[in-house]
Amino acid sequence: MSAKGWRELPPGAVILDAGNARELRTGTWRTTSRPVWEEENCSQCLLCWLYCPDMAVIVKDGKMVGIDYDYCKGCGICALECPGKKGRKAITMEEERK
Amino acid sequence: MARVAAVTGNEAVAEALRQINPDVCAAYPITPQTELMQRFAAFVSNGKVDTELILVESEHSAMSACIGAAAAGGRVATATCGPGLALMWEMLYVASGMRLPIVMAVVNRSLSAPLNIHGDHSDAMGARDSGWIQLWSENAQEAYDNTIQAFRIAENMNIRLPAMVCMDGFIISHSIGRIEYLEDEPVRSFVGEYQPLNPLLDLDNPKSYGPLILTDQYHEYKRAQHEVMTRVKDVVLAVAAEFEKVSGRRYGLFESYRLDDAEIGLVILNSAAGTAKDVVDSFRERGIRAGLLKPRLFRPFPYEEVAQALKGLKAVAVLDRADSFGGYGPVFMEVCSALYPLAERPVVINKIYGLGGRDFLPQHAEEVLAELEEIARTGKVRVAKEYIGVRE
């Protein structure tokens, strides 16, 4: 989003473009680690989707299919809550790579 | 045409609100505003208006509910005074920052401590930087007329700012005076159908009010807010010209009373201006060229126009019914700012009077005018700021 001059602003700072929060890629806030999803350990319980404080767990047709790194801030709640399968977590935190 | 009645200031403003029939009113009772909302609540209960009256638990909530209703797309009115206005302080800035044209009657009252319920301008003066338009009223007639005009000014599509209409607590709010009401139909057609701007209830066009705006854009929003205030003067005059056609009563940015050839003059707000005008007349009868300026639009302050009106005088006293402790009275500071750019300007002194409802008597105006005569003659100022009508 480009910064606007004072003459171009909508009165009262009203946001007329509904849902424009998606333009802010909060994934850039991630610093130390990122969640990594292993499909074979996933029971499709969707606890990760439920607990994600953003909307970074991608669900298609009722199934978890991956993580949206454009919006994941790397908080690690999904990895903490993930029950996994047979003692192996489907989401684990890995060190953020450059 | 006109309906003549003997009513209190509170009753007059309640009648204006009945005729305007706002969509929403959220208010909390506080002396001396209580009677105003009590009368309006009776109109609601008796089906005289369609207004949704929201009873809330505080003035902070009252203004919050007004903000929500105005953002939703309704015409909104409320009323408060003194400590109630002080409690609204945070939300006043939200209303103006969101550019919501809420109209609020402010029945001017002192601030605690010590606790006092009487007429004093400390409340509205404390809110003068909040981005609200301020219209001040000498009597019930002006409070009624200003209330009707305030809706048109606030709701102007080039303005969209909240406006407060001030009148003196008890002195005007509770005193019965003669008033000429307009009929309902002319008032309704004068204020017109409410035109919302970016209403939240326009569900086909979803939007957000109240975003977080940090260092990259906040400064620009405040610059834009300043700009819109510079447009208010012209709208106030245009609305006043239209109102004159309906009512026969003329309003400007301020009232000039016998100022044209004056050598000495008083600047004074609201009810005390009535008393002071009588004293100006008695000085004129003695051949002394005295005059008076009574501000009506205090925010935005019409600096150039006030300077033009006062520039020919030799000495001016600004009388404030509020103090800025450790500073000068608020009206004095504005008048000095207005006059300072002039190469030749009158000597200006500041008197603080009538705090907490202390009577402003003709003798006070006489003493101040006599002091101005002395200053005009000698050019010597005894004291720049002084309390008058105070026991030593």
Specify the pLDDT at position B23.
98
Where along chain B do the CATH 3.40.50.970 domains lie? 3-247
3-state helix, strand, coil in chain A (%, to 5): 30, 20, 50
Instruction: Catalogue all structural domains in chain A, each as residue range(s) with its CATH number.
Output: 25-95 (3.30.70.20)
The DSSP bridge pattern shows strands B290-295 and B254-257 to be: antiparallel
Helix (H) / strand (E) element for A93: namely strand A91-95
Give B320's strand partners.
B352
| Tokens linked to B50 | 């369609």
B254 Rama class: left (phi>0) / alpha (psi -120 to 50) / beta: beta
Alpha helices for B47-136 (secondary structure H): 59-72, 82-87, 89-97, 122-126
Q: pTM (2 decimals)?
A: 0.92
Give the distance from CA A20 to its chain's centroid.
16
**Options 3.40.50.300, 3.30.70.20, 3.10.20.90, 3.40.50.970; CATH of B3-247:** 3.40.50.970
Where along chain B do the CATH 3.40.50.920 domains lie? 254-387
Q: What percent of chain A lies above the pLDDT cut of 70?
A: 97
Give B53's strand partners.
B25
Predicted confidence (pLDDT) at residue A98 exceeds the cutoff of 70: no
Cα(B366)–Cα(B352) distance, integer angstroms:
15
Q: Chain B closest CA to A61's CA: distance in Å?
A: 27
Specify the pLDDT at position B227.
98
Contact B110, B118 (CB under 8 A): yes
Cα(B385)–Cα(B155) distance, integer angstroms:
39
Task: Pick the closest to residue B347 from B319, B388, B310, B316 (CA basis).
Answer: B316
Of B100, B207, B220, the CB nearest to A9: B220
B314: helix, strand or coil: coil
pLDDT-derived band of residue A24, with 50, 70 and 90 as boundaries? Answer: confident
B3: helix, strand or coil: strand
Interface with A, mutate which of B67, B203, B209, B221 (most A CBs under 10 A): B221
B254-387 fold: Rossmann fold (3.40.50)
Predicted confidence (pLDDT) at residue A1 exceeds the cutoff of 60: no
Q: Closest chain A residue to B209 measured between Cα atoms? A: A14
Contact B107, B33 (CB under 8 A): yes
Phi, psi for B49 (deg, rounded to 5): -135, 165
In tens digits, what is the pLDDT along chain B, a chain of 392 residues? 679 999 999 999 999 999 999 999 999 999 999 999 999 999 999 999 999 999 999 999 999 999 999 999 999 999 999 999 999 999 999 999 999 999 999 999 999 999 999 999 999 999 999 999 999 999 999 999 999 999 999 999 999 999 999 999 999 999 999 999 999 999 999 999 999 999 999 999 999 999 999 999 999 999 999 999 999 999 999 999 999 999 999 999 999 999 999 999 999 999 999 999 999 999 999 999 999 999 999 999 999 999 999 999 999 999 999 999 999 999 999 999 999 999 999 999 999 999 999 999 999 999 999 999 999 999 999 999 999 999 99
Specify the pLDDT at position A9.
94
Task: Pick the closest to residue A11 from B130, B150, B299, B221 (CA basis).
Answer: B221
Give B387's strand partners.
B352
Specify the pLDDT at position A2.
65
Checking ipTM against 0.90, whether it exceeds it is no
The DSSP bridge pattern shows strands B264-268 and B3-7 to be: unpaired
A1 touches chain B (CB under 8 A): no
Q: Find the chain B residues whose C-beta atoms sit closer than 8 A to any C-beta of A.
A: 97-100, 160, 197-198, 205-211, 213, 216-217, 220-221, 223-224, 227-228
Provide the sign of the torsion angle of the four alpha carbons B164, B165, B168, B173, taken in this order.
negative
> What DSSP line would sit under A21-51, residue for residue?
GGGS-GGGG--SEEEEE-GGG-----HHHHH
pLDDT-derived band of residue A18, with 50, 70 and 90 as boundaries? Answer: confident
